[in-house]
Structure 1
Amino acid sequence: MTDLSKYRNIGIFAHVDAGKTTTTERILKLTGKIHKIGEVHEGESTMDFMEQEAERGITIQSAATTAYWKDHRFNIIDTPGHVDFTIEVYRSLKVLDGGIGVFCGSGGVEPQSETNWRYANDSKVSRLIYVNKLDRIGADFYRVVKQVEDILAAKPLVMALPIGFEDSFVGVIDLLTRKAWVWDESGDPLKYTIQDVPEDMKAKVEEWREKLIETAVEQDDELMEMYLGGEEPAIEDIKRCIRKGTIAMDFFPTYPGSSFKNKGVQLVLDGVVDYLPNPTEVQPQPETDIEGVETGEFAIVDPSRPLRALVFKIMDDRFGALNFVRIYSGTLKKGDTVMNTYTGKSERVGRMVEMHANDRTEIESAQAGDIVALIGLKNVQTGHTLADPDNPATLEPMVFPDPVISIAIAPKNKGAAEKLGIALNKMVQEDPSFRVETDQETNETILKGMGELHLDIKVDILRRTHGIEVEVGKPQVAYRESITQAVEDSFTHKKQSGGSGQYGKIDYTIQPNEPGAGYAFESVVVGGNVPREFWPAIDKGFKESMNKGVLAGYPVVDVKVTLRDGAFHAVDSSAIAFEIAAKGGYRQTMQKAGPQILEPIMKVDVFTPEDHVGDVIGDLNRRRAMIKSQDTAPIGVRIKAEAPLSEMFGYINTLRTMTSGRGQFSMEFSHYSPCPKNVSETVIKEAAERKKAQEAAR
């Protein structure tokens, strides 16, 4: 049995361009996993192995690897920073025990850092903070520490101080040992010397060391009393307290460094060993029933217990589908038969591999605490649980957001249609935030995703990986419909044409529901006017009708239907008759309930140099944006706003033109909001024209 106390399942996450992948490359070099460092900006990093990643210099899908440091095993997942791919971060955090949040020394706490931090809080993942790129112009370690406090409402526990900034950044001072680590200019991470603290930094080191110890000893009353009595605890005792507070997420050990210049990464690795939890130290995963309701049982990390494993990612490669699995309890061997509790079917584990980006090492078995990839599973999707067939249980499933943008595609070569279907099916398996639908009326293939870049990459993957050239329509917004007023109404479905007839009468109220609450159905019928066995059919009739609104055919949200009364016939009434009555009632009543079009509103975060602020705000106002805040940073201004998605297509090109290529922005879905009248009219008109064109095409 492997010693689980030596395991660390960690993820590296941050905003785009904060240096996550570069940091991972340095970790792999230091742990002896790779011998030549590949640079992201040269398109040669180990973890960004997709062509699209190498070309754009960004991480698109999370990559997994295993490395060893000081006889501890690290299972590392490098995640994307771009907001369109946050789903990758969310899934990875779900199965990790600890993480390293990387922040740029000059950019500080950027928009995507906030989203990722929020996901990590939701998943209760303990973290270290690594302030990277301290060799860059405008870098300021202390400013980033302050931003972590102010923007993320988190408590950074500074473990080391930088020696110098920007060009003069040469190393770091470990506060606990009062030793300076100074690297030479060769760029070799192993060429450093450990020296005494420089004279001009002694006072600062003592000030920050005192803060560190004061915060740490709060975790232990005895040590606290000892410290207040003037006695300094031993370093091992302080470390024990830091570990306890880090696992409880009371604070986050914080380190300075520059991954690109190979300075400071060793201390972060030591921090992972010293302070991040092993698999047995995190709260065990709750077990649920198939509906997602907790049973009160937990998947305790123990190799001798029944198998519980969560599939958190599926990746298609030349050898078939790789299912990335986190094993929470039990052991898994090559050739084992396991149960997929979602489908209720058995699956056989053909092969098992340990991943290193896109290389793999065959293994015979794995146990609780491991992250491995399985080959040979047939009907498994992200979020499914694999369990012991004799003792099945489900782990808490993952919830994925709905896409907000869609495009229509068609293969340029008519013979590629079948090939396109197979390729899209594989891509949907890999990415749960990517959806594919076929428009029944036009026969068009519709791709739905989280943003323009997301869909852009998908089309690129079709072209490069699967060799399918497609024509792409212009992006479409995922509008919704809702209502503004309550209406009481009645509908009778009556049909008599020889033999048994159909009869169902319903009295109901259709009213607006709370924003974001979706569709709800309630019956307040007393007595037997509408027998209870017909209520589900009425609910189904209304619910299915909500897929198509009365204004432009978009799905209807935030509506509540209350069944008040009705009537039935002892012979002619049936579930189907009441379902048809509900559908008829929907068509009759929705027009009277003040229907309206809702549009997706996005949280927009724009960074611009100071001399272009006026232009950027003016342009956002023209896009119907609401400016929420404006913060001045040392190297520019950050503007937070909310804007309709329909106005934001192609925004990156406009922003780059306005700011001479120096502006950046990120955008994520916030909520749905009613459209202004002129926009509604345009949306309804376009829907009518589409319908007309479809009918003509028939």
Structure 2
Amino acid sequence: MTRFQNGSRLLSYTFFRSKTTSPVSPTIALIQGNFQIQHSRHFSNLARATTKEEKEPWWKDSMERLRNIGISAHIDSGKTTLTERILYYTGRIHEIHEVRGRDGVGAKMDSMDLEREKGITIQSAATYCTWNGYQVNIIDTPGHVDFTIEVERALRVLDGAILVLCSVGGVQSQSITVDRQMRRYEVPRLAFINKLDRMGADPWKVLNQGGYLNFSHRKARSKLRHHSAAVQVPIGLEDDFQGLIDLVKMKAYYFHGSNGEKIVTEEIPVEMEALVTEKRRELIETVSEVDDKLADVFLADEPISTSDLEEAIRRATIAKKFVPVFMGSAFKNKGVQPLLDGVLSFLPCPPEVNNFALDQTKGEEKVVLSGTPDGPLVALAFKLEEGRFGQLTYLRIYEGVIHKGDFIVNVNTGKKIKVPRLVRMHSNEMEDIQEAHAGQIVAVFGVDCASGDTFTDGSVRYTMTSMNVPEPVMSLAIQPVSKDSGGQFSKALNRFQKEDPTFRVGLDPESAQTIISGMGELHLDIYVERIRREYKVDASVGKPRVNFRETITQRAEFDYLHKKQTGGQGQYGRVCGYIEPIPEGSMTKFEFDNMIVGQVIPSNFIPAIEKGFKEAANSGSLIGHPVENLRIALTDGAAHAVDSSELAFKLAAIYAFRQCYTAAKPVILEPVMLVELKVPTEFQGTVAGDINKRKGLIVGNDQDGDDSVITAHVPLNNMFGYSTALRSMTQGKGEFTMEYKEHSPVSQDVQMQLVNTYKASKAAE
């Protein structure tokens, strides 16, 4: 990397060594203000070349000028609108379109027809743009909890994120879920309080919900518990929202032009100087609490310069100790460019993020990746899509370089694969590239793999840690209307199951029906609709089925002898021990403990016994659902020199489990959902009464202007068709979100009812 000083302007040039041996004249490509020189000949007509490449690696400048960010939020907070504006201001698109597609075009990042019709994001979409000489890779993620896996896999591979909050709705249920996901993957983030132009906008209330404002708020319980402070102050709110004041640079910004593209910088209005001084002090105080360097200057009562404050905010943000809060209105084209500047100033570049791999040659020992192009290739396949040319695999490169035509190794399967095509994604469009290096997000065609597989160049056997995949909570029976379309129907289910780890397909052994499982009604409805649209297969759908579970509440002993003589070799196997519940909070759902001392049962039969118990636990005797939170201890047994076999001991384990299961006082567990409702206050009593009827437990009730925000825990089995019921109760003004919380025991009367229904259905077969 070489820099040249030409007059007052600093130009960045990137040298790439030509792969051809014949002399080629140098070409200079102008890309968004960055000059890339394709061949490394000396240019004598350029002034004063510095020799930074002698001291620094060739990739240092390009890596420092790279940002990988995601945009996440609650439903309808304005994520996709914000992404659309970012693409417009960075020159990636040349027209702004409505998210709901009213103009017949729709947002660039919502490329699926269903997304444009419903006005929601279903699949995360990747794009890239350049801003002030930096390359920014962006992933726009869904807000609806049913598509939470899209957020999980995006955050797994990103270096930073923007958490979008609505200035009216504030910190909502899905905001908390997204924030929890960001914490899980240790992603530094900025917050953007959007929709300041709306009636009832109050960014200071939102900021108070999201974190501690200053020392006096230390005792205030906040929803996100962030160490956060505003880095901007709005000039006016609602219809009077005019611009923003930057608390770091102490300048006022106004956004002019038909699409807010012209930024006018002015001095701070006199009437706002007192508020700005107070908010800047709050910002400095909050950052000083988490940054020692700034604290020293602050406590010494020395003046704090713009660069001191900016560097302190960057250090604290990258260390995940602080969340700078930006403001604006993406829809009204105000505040997006300063947010982009904040992404460059405060979020990390790839080498500043610690990424770990597991070395398979050393018992999954943790290895810190350098995050640079100099090391061996390590890339993670984090998302799959069925493209026009076969499977499209999204890769995040953590180390090394990948070239088109290279051979790469799938560490999970051991297969060596050639990369036939390498592309960069811009929503559903793609641009062919020849190579990509560490820190970049690219896609490859024709590489068969599963989501979560790790690729290397073969010199190392590293795997990246996997994502958190939540368990499905709802199931539907589904079958094609026409028998002739069975092939397309199977193809669709296989593809969707491969693309989405939370979408499961199974066969009900009793009814022989195909069962699809997912994260909620909307999740499954979308897939049924996609089968119809993309594969031209009409499918009939059965009643939604809740994924109940069974568990035991007390210890019970077993002593079972399986003995069968049929002439010739018989079957003989005796198992003794006990079953007991696993204590609450344990991560495992099934434990098998071999406590036999000596060889009363030969060790080669132990795996068969464990397999038998696992098989038996797949179907509890109450309602035939899997048994969870169960520990089985094998303490004794007996074997026969001739008649014992793996089959005999497996059957002995199955019958032993059934023998003692009733004595362990089993109970049925049902999925309980965390439901957040926002309804006009006049309907609060009616809605709360209906929640109680549905056996829900109201755990919170807040006032938000003229609306009541009710938080409740409600069994999923009682929530079917709730959207219609809520609309009729609130004259169409109420809205709710629902996400899985936990499985918990049903009441005694519900258990009796479920057991009787199960017995009746068995008797009818």
Q: TM-score normalized by structure 2?
A: 0.88
Q: Give 1:7's aligned residue.
A: 66
Residues 172-195 of structure 1 show CA distances to partners (whole Å, capped at 9, x for unaligned) of: 0011222111124x5422133211
After TM superposition, give the deviation of residue 133 of structure 1 in Å.
Answer: 0.2
1:149-188 to structure 2, matched below 5 A, reads 149=211, 150-184=222-256, 186-188=257-259
Alignment of 1:52 with 2:114, yes or no, is yes
Alignment of 1:128 with 2:195, yes or no, is no
Alignment of 1:620 with 2:691, yes or no, is yes
Instruction: Kindly provide the amino acid, as one letter, of the partner of residue 91 in structure 2.
Output: G
Q: Is the 8 A contact 1:339 1:392 kept in 2?
A: no
Residues 81-137 of structure 1 show CA distances to partners (whole Å, capped at 9, x for unaligned) of: 001111110110010000000000100001100000000011100000000000000
Residues 313-362 of structure 1 show CA distances to partners (whole Å, capped at 9, x for unaligned) of: 11113222111111111111112222222222222222111000000001
Instruction: Kindly provide the amino acid, as one letter, of the partner of residue 411 in structure 2.
Output: T
Answer with 651-660 or 65-74: which moved more.
651-660
1:116-515 to structure 2, matched below 5 A, reads 116-149=178-211, 150-184=222-256, 186-217=257-288, 221=292, 223-287=294-358, 289=360, 294-378=364-448, 380-515=449-584
After TM superposition, give the deviation of residue 609 of structure 1 in Å.
Answer: 1.2
Taking the aligned partners of 2:408 and 2:510, their CA distance within structure 1 comes to 41
Q: Give 1:522's aligned residue.
A: 593
Instruction: Kindly provide the amino acid, as one letter, of the partner of residue 667 in structure 2.
Output: Q
Alignment of 1:93 with 2:155, yes or no, is yes
Q: Is the 8 A contact 1:287 1:299 kept in 2?
A: no
- Matched residue of 2:320: which SS? coil
Residues 491-515 of structure 1 show CA distances to partners (whole Å, capped at 9, x for unaligned) of: 1122333333332111110122224
After TM superposition, give the deviation of residue 217 of structure 1 in Å.
Answer: 4.5
Unaligned runs of 5+ in 2: 1-57, 212-221
After TM superposition, give the deviation of residue 309 of structure 1 in Å.
Answer: 0.9
Taking the aligned partners of 1:547 and 1:443, their CA distance within structure 2 comes to 17
Residues 508-543 of structure 1 show CA distances to partners (whole Å, capped at 9, x for unaligned) of: 101222246411111221222223332222111101
Instruction: Kindly provide the amino acid, as one letter, of the partner of residue 174 in structure 1.
Output: D
**In structure 1, which of residues 98, 107, 114 is the aligned counterpart of residue 169 of structure 2?**
107
Change over 3 Å in CA distance of 1:290–1:562 after alignment to 2: farther
Q: Give 2:9's aligned residue.
A: none
Residues 541-590 of structure 1 show CA distances to partners (whole Å, capped at 9, x for unaligned) of: 10111111112211111111111111122333233322121112112221
After TM superposition, give the deviation of residue 154 of structure 1 in Å.
Answer: 0.4
Residues 262-319 of structure 1 show CA distances to partners (whole Å, capped at 9, x for unaligned) of: 000111000000000001111122325499x741212321212111111111111322
Matched length: 691
Residues 602-653 of structure 1 show CA distances to partners (whole Å, capped at 9, x for unaligned) of: 1111111111110110000000001111111124111111110000011111
Taking the aligned partners of 2:319 and 2:488, their CA distance within structure 1 comes to 50
Instruction: Kindly provide the amino acid, as one letter, of the partner of residue 310 in structure 2.
Output: K
Answer with 559-568 or 268-277: which moved more.
559-568
Change over 3 Å in CA distance of 1:605–1:223 after alignment to 2: closer
After TM superposition, give the deviation of residue 597 of structure 1 in Å.
Answer: 1.6
- Matched residue of 2:372: which SS? coil
After TM superposition, give the deviation of residue 689 of structure 1 in Å.
Answer: 4.2
Q: Is the 8 A contact 1:189 1:263 kept in 2?
A: yes
Answer with 34-43 or 547-556: which moved more.
34-43
Taking the aligned partners of 2:206 and 2:367, their CA distance within structure 1 comes to 41
Unaligned runs of 5+ in 1: none
Q: Is the 8 A contact 2:550 2:667 kept in 1?
A: yes
- Matched residue of 1:582: which SS? helix
Q: Is the 8 A contact 1:290 1:342 kept in 2?
A: no
Taking the aligned partners of 1:667 and 1:680, their CA distance within structure 2 comes to 24
Taking the aligned partners of 2:706 and 2:188, their CA distance within structure 1 comes to 31
Taking the aligned partners of 1:529 and 1:554, their CA distance within structure 2 comes to 33
Q: Give 1:533's aligned residue.
A: 604
- Matched residue of 1:151: which SS? coil
- Matched residue of 2:92: which SS? coil
Taking the aligned partners of 2:564 and 2:530, their CA distance within structure 1 comes to 53
Answer with 296-305 or 682-691: which moved more.
682-691
Instruction: Kindly provide the amino acid, as one letter, of the partner of residue 677 in structure 1.
Output: Q
Taking the aligned partners of 1:148 and 1:207, their CA distance within structure 2 comes to 19
1:24-103 to structure 2, matched below 5 A, reads 24-42=83-101, 44-103=106-165
Residues 462-502 of structure 1 show CA distances to partners (whole Å, capped at 9, x for unaligned) of: 11111111111111101111222221120112233333333
Change over 3 Å in CA distance of 1:96–1:33 after alignment to 2: same
Instruction: Kindly provide the amino acid, as one letter, of the partner of residue 205 in structure 2.
Output: R
Change over 3 Å in CA distance of 1:221–1:618 after alignment to 2: closer
Higher relative contact order (CA 8 A, sep 6+): 1
- Matched residue of 2:155: which SS? helix
Instruction: Kindly provide the amino acid, as one letter, of the partner of residue 491 in structure 2.
Output: I
Taking the aligned partners of 1:222 and 1:513, their CA distance within structure 2 comes to 48
Identity of aligned residues (%): 45
Answer with 293-302 or 196-205: which moved more.
293-302
Taking the aligned partners of 1:207 and 1:598, their CA distance within structure 2 comes to 53
Alignment of 1:17 with 2:76, yes or no, is yes
After TM superposition, give the deviation of residue 669 of structure 1 in Å.
Answer: 1.1
Q: TM-score normalized by structure 1?
A: 0.96
Taking the aligned partners of 1:197 and 1:295, their CA distance within structure 2 comes to 55
Residues 418-448 of structure 1 show CA distances to partners (whole Å, capped at 9, x for unaligned) of: 1100111111111110001122343311110
Q: Is the 8 A contact 2:477 2:516 kept in 1?
A: yes
Q: Is the 8 A contact 1:247 1:275 kept in 2?
A: yes
Answer with 606-615 or 272-281: which moved more.
606-615
